[in-house]
Amino acid sequence: MTPEQKANLSTSAKLGVTLTAGIVAGIAAAILSQPADTLLSQINKGHGPKGTMMQRLWALAKQAGFRGLFAGLGPRMLMTAGLVSSQFVMYDGIKKAFGARPGIEIHKE
């Protein structure tokens, strides 16, 4: 999107872009972090065999399987998308309140 197109967007369209970006970022973050968070929860509960951390993580991952590592992903995506999109909206609002420039300028020499 060119700077001219951005300048011509209505306030509601700008809010829609910010919310959509936050939702997409939140869903991506939830999908990428779900397996590690599932394993971390299992480790914190004391599950898994004794041994090194990598041995325990590997055994728990094999035990859970692909589906088990992603169990509960739907609610996590909703929660993370809501949190991240609200952070994006707050960030955008704070930038506007303080009169910050709308983007990052990279100066080329």
Give 85-105 as a DSSP string: HHHHHHHHHHHHHTT--SS--
Note the pTM of the prediction, 2 decimals: 0.78
The pLDDT profile of the chain, 109 residues, written as one tens digit per residue, is 677 887 788 888 988 988 999 999 999 999 999 999 999 998 888 887 888 888 888 999 999 999 999 999 999 999 999 999 999 999 989 988 998 876 666 666 6
Give CA–CA dist 23/41, Å, rounded. Answer: 25
- At 19 the pLDDT is 93
- At 14 the pLDDT is 87
- Domains in the chain: boundaries: 19-97
Terminal C-alpha separation, the chain? 24
User: Collapsing DSSP states into helix, strand and coil, what is residue 107?
Assistant: coil
CB 38 within 8 A of CB 101: no
In which residue are the tokens 């990598």 written?
A: 54
